[in-house]
Amino acid sequence: MAQDYDSPKDKNDDAVAALAGGAEAHDGSDVDDDETAIAENFELPGADLSSEDASVTVIPMQGDEFVCSECFLVKHRSQLAFMRDGQPVCKECAA
d(C-alpha 74, C-alpha 95), whole Å: 17
pLDDT top residue among 12 and 37 = 37
Task: Tell me the mean pLDDT in the region 22-50.
Answer: 68
Q: pTM for the full model?
A: 0.44
> 17: helix, coil or strand?
helix
Q: Residue 80: which H helix or E strand, with range?
A: strand 80-84
pLDDT top residue among 13 and 8 = 8
Per-residue pLDDT tens digits for 20-29: 665 554 555 5
Provide the sign of the torsion angle of the four alpha carbons 32, 34, 36, 39, taken in this order: negative
Name the band, by pLDDT with cuts 50, 70 and 90, for residue 52: confident
> 66: helix, coil or strand?
strand
Task: Residue count of the chain, please give it.
Answer: 95
